[in-house]
Amino acid sequence: MHAEYGGVVPELATREHLRNLIPVCNQALDLAGITIGEIDAVAATQGPGLPSALLIGLYAAESLAFTLDKPFVPIHHHEAHLYSAWVSGDPLRAEFSSFEPSVSLIVSGGHTLLVLVEAMLKHRVLGGTIDDAAGECFDKVAKLIGLPYPGGPELDRLAQSGNAKAYAFPRPMIHDPTDDFSFSGLKTSVRYFLRDHPEILDSRAAIQDLCASVQAAIVEVLVKKTVRAALRNGVKCVTASGGVMCNRTLRIDLASACASAGLGLRVTDRVMCTDNAGMVGVLAEQKLLRGGGFKRYDFEIAPGLALG
């Protein structure tokens, strides 16, 4: 639906949320083999994200909880990603019994965060992107190349056949001592590179090399800053989640770097990397078990500051 526009159209997304919400909820109940009266609590993502689309699910969930006289648990988007690394492909098999302190990389289309998780539901943001997120950089570079939307997965696919050392692109803030990220400069560098070398777009092999080179720059920054943060904070475990963690090179390079540094690694299963209800429900259950999670967040709070 959104492909022809090259990105998500908020009005269309909102209408699709409204159109699909009840059928999807009914399907979920059928698959679970329960009736609506057997629900113990209701949870919904409250943000950050597209407010117009999120409000459909949020208001529907609040209304359902009120009607059933059941607890309502609003869930922060980033926080759900944060703990999804402890969930297997089946949300019913969460592995919180093996939970340990970690540094978590949350990387998606709109957000890139490093979070120190000291204990279950006790965490603080170490750093985040000061401009473009990693996923946004993937998608915008893909658009510059002329790849179809969503561009990130297509760029990843082409990069598998390319030479990552073919073109030298900057690694923004890789030596910066903070845990912040910046990817706008990399995107701009690619734009000027294509302006000066338009012939690249006429060669599939050159496009593959370009995709591999850009991907290598993004992945190197993410991996090095994540491992460095984990070592500095004295944790023995790294977790990684979010839509960009579907990227094959990122998963491989992060695993290799963690192994070399003597760090354990938990990466969210691909099926739960992109936004999903499973991670929201699992986190809501943990909050209910611990007697918390009944706080309404402000949509206007900056994403990094809102977490926790």
- Give the start-to-end residue ranges of the domains of the chain: 3-83+276-306, 101-272
Q: What angle do CA 11, 5, 302 make, to 5 degrees?
A: 55
Q: What is the pLDDT of residue 209?
A: 97
Q: What is the pLDDT of residue 296?
A: 41
Q: What is the pLDDT of residue 48?
A: 87
Q: What is the pLDDT of residue 303?
A: 39
What's the topology of domain 101-272?
Nucleotidyltransferase; domain 5 (3.30.420)
Q: CATH classification of 3-83+276-306 is 3.30.420.40, yes or no? A: yes
Q: What angle do CA 78, 84, 90 make, to 5 degrees?
A: 145
Q: What is the pLDDT of residue 292?
A: 59
Q: What are phi and psi of 211, to 5 degrees?
A: -60, -45
Q: What is the pLDDT of residue 89?
A: 67
Report which DSSP code applies to 15: H
Q: Are 253 and 222 in contact (CB under 8 A)?
A: no
Q: What are phi and psi of 218, to 5 degrees?
A: -65, -45
Per-block mean pLDDT, blocks of 10 residues, the chain (308 long)? 82 94 95 93 90 92 92 92 86 79 92 94 94 92 90 93 96 95 95 96 96 97 98 97 95 98 95 91 90 46 37
